[in-house]
């Protein structure tokens, strides 16, 4: 099996599919750019010089390796297995998104591109893109849904400060999916000098594969760190799933380790009603071809993409990365959900037990970890990916958790009543 997989990955340049999922379902005019990107990626993937450069940046710029932290208090609270947290939240710009942004920016530079265009939901990918653009002297233009601009304002401010141009997206649901459409369309019009730095393991080939490769550093580090601390493999891995980049990044190096259980956590939102959540793999999962790839999407009977909801902008997306769809069907990854309320509670819990502020996206993984920890013995080990920091969620979390105090602060600030 190991050998088979290696063989396949060598010819991955030709195979655009994960089982039946993925592909490159785009208008013909995008094909040359995607072929150019695949060509460049498979070339530089094999280049030691490119890998060394990326490794140097990961270490000295992004701050890798990130800690694998034994969360003693959380473990006690879970009353089951030992819980380790992989702290991607400590990366430069505060989330795993920088892993992918660094890789793609380096590639874009090799391809002679001078501009980066990206979509963002939570703003973490936009921030990572703005940062690498600043670092490499590239222009960056970030498409962001109007709804997300409001709920993730701290990131909007920092993106602008880094020199990115923020383009509000007012189409459709005004969230991540529409930002992807807008970024893709912008790219179609500017193929010559622009690289589309897609932020999750979604979209047309080669993005799902390339983003997975760049994010796999998470799982590789976990494997090495756990070998050093415990001299063994983990038993359970838990990650939240938006498009799927932090989850596939954590899971990928463990796919062949069949005894390691993998859990992907989707946004259960407000509940099971239509438009209330972002569950692609809920009751009645539907397959489709949207935004250039075949996978599971939230669709109506006719195939129209349906509105989604999650308290976390990064999970508020109608599509699932194609490799995850494949691994779901193969039974390798279990998918489940956590609601808005549960995520908020877990956000607070992690703050109070470990002094760690998770992103609301990552809080979904924490909530799920606490739900299932009891199903495992005290000798077993769980690793939860803290994909990002929660500072960006100030406006959402403070409103929910500190209602009156926060409102008073905002009012005073708006009225110019505060002294500083």
Ligand X SMILES: Cc1ncc(COP(=O)(O)O)c(C=O)c1O
Q: Residue numbers of the site for ligand X (CB under 6 A)?
A: 95, 97, 121-122, 124-125, 200, 240-247, 314-315, 359, 361-362, 387-388
- Told to check if 202 binds other proteins by CB under 8 A, we report no
Count Cα neighbours of 15 within 13 Å in the Cβ-side half-sphere. 14
Please list every residue from 61 through 90 that binds other proteins, using CB under 8 A.
Answer: none
Least spacing, CB of residue 204 vs other proteins, in Å:
9
For residue 193, the partner it binds in ligand X, other proteins, none, with Cβ less than 5 to 8 A by kind, is none
Q: Is 28 a catalytic residue?
A: no
Least spacing, CB of residue 176 vs ligand X, in Å:
7
For residue 188, the partner it binds in other proteins, ligand X, none, with Cβ less than 5 to 8 A by kind, is other proteins
Residue among 82, 86, 97, 177 flagged as catalytic:
97
Binder among 5, 9, 15, 20 for other proteins (CB under 8 A): 20
For residue 240, the partner it binds in other proteins, ligand X, none, with Cβ less than 5 to 8 A by kind, is ligand X
359 neighbors 389 (Cβ within 8 angstroms): yes
Least spacing, CB of residue 141 vs other proteins, in Å:
16
268 neighbors 335 (Cβ within 8 angstroms): no
Instruction: Write down the number of H helices and E strands in the chain.
Output: 17, 14
Structure token digits, residue 403: 């209602």
Strands 115-120 and 194-196: parallel
Least spacing, CB of residue 285 vs other proteins, in Å:
13
141 neighbors 185 (Cβ within 8 angstroms): no
Residue among 82, 86, 119, 245 flagged as catalytic:
119
Number of residues that bind other proteins (CB under 8 A): 38
83 neighbors 234 (Cβ within 8 angstroms): no
Question: Cα dist. 62→43, 98, 140 in Å?
Answer: 24, 7, 19
Least spacing, CB of residue 2 vs ligand X, in Å:
26
Whole-angstrom Cα distance, residue 347 to residue 342?
9
List Cβ neighbours of 300 (8 Å cut-off, separation of 6 or more): 306
- Told to check if 303 binds other proteins by CB under 8 A, we report yes
Binder among 5, 10, 15, 29 for other proteins (CB under 8 A): 29
For residue 171, the partner it binds in other proteins, ligand X, none, with Cβ less than 5 to 8 A by kind, is other proteins
Strand order in the sheet with 17-18: 17-18, 21-22, 293-297, 286-290
Cα 299–Cα 300–Cα 302 angle in degrees, nearest 5: 110
Q: Is 387 a catalytic residue?
A: yes
Q: Is 348 a catalytic residue?
A: no
184 neighbors 291 (Cβ within 8 angstroms): yes
Q: Which residues are marked as active site?
A: 97, 119, 387
Q: What is the binding site for other proteins (CB under 8 A)?
A: 16-17, 20, 23-29, 31-33, 35, 171-172, 177, 181, 184-185, 188-189, 191, 286-292, 294, 297, 299, 301-305
């Amino acid at each position: 099996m190991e050998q088979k997989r290696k063989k396949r990955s060598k010819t991955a340049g030709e195979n655009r599919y994960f089982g039946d999922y993925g592909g490159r379902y785009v208008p013909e005019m995008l094909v040359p750019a995607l072929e150019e990107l695949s060509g460049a990626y498979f070339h530089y993937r094999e280049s030691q010089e490119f890998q060394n450069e990326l490794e140097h940046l990961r270490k000295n710029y992004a701050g890798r390796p990130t800690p694998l932290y034994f969360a003693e208090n959380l473990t006690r609270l879970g009353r089951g297995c030992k819980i380790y947290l992989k702290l991607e939240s400590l990366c430069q710009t505060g989330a795993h998104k920088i892993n992918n942004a660094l890789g793609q920016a380096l590639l874009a530079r090799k391809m002679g591109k001078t501009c980066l265009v990206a979509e963002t939901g939570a703003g973490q990918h936009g921030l990572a893109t703005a940062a690498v653009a600043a670092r490499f002297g590239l222009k960056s233009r970030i498409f962001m849904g109007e709804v997300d601009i409001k709920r993730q304002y701290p990131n909007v401010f920092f993106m602008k400060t880094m020199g990115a141009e923020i383009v509000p997206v007012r189409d459709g649901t005004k969230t991540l999916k529409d930002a992807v459409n807008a970024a893709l369309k912008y790219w179609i019009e500017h193929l010559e000098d622009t690289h589309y730095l897609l932020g999750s393991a979604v979209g047309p080939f080669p993005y799902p594969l390339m983003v997975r490769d760049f994010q796999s550093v998470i799982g590789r580090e976990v494997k090495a760190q756990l070998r050093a601390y415990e001299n063994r493999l983990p038993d359970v891995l838990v990650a939240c799933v938006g498009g799927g980049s932090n989850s596939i990044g954590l899971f990928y190096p463990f796919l062949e380790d069949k005894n390691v259980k993998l859990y992907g956590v989707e946004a259960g939102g407000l509940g099971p009603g239509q438009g209330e959540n972002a569950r692609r793999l809920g009751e009645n999962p539907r397959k489709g071809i949207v935004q250039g790839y075949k996978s599971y999407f939230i669709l109506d009977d006719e195939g129209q993409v349906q509105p989604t909801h999650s308290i976390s902008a990064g999970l508020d997306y109608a599509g699932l990365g194609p490799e995850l769809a494949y691994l779901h069907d193969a039974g390798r990854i279990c998918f489940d959900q956590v609601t808005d309320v549960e995520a908020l509670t877990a956000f607070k819990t992690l703050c109070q037990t470990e002094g760690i502020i998770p992103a609301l996206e990552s809080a979904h993984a924490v909530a799920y970890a606490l739900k299932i920890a009891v199903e495992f013995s005290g000798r077993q080990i769980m690793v939860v990916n803290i994909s990002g920091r929660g500072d960006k969620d100030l406006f959402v979390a403070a409103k929910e958790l500190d209602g009156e105090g926060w409102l008073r602060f905002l009012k005073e600030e708006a009225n110019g009543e505060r002294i500083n």
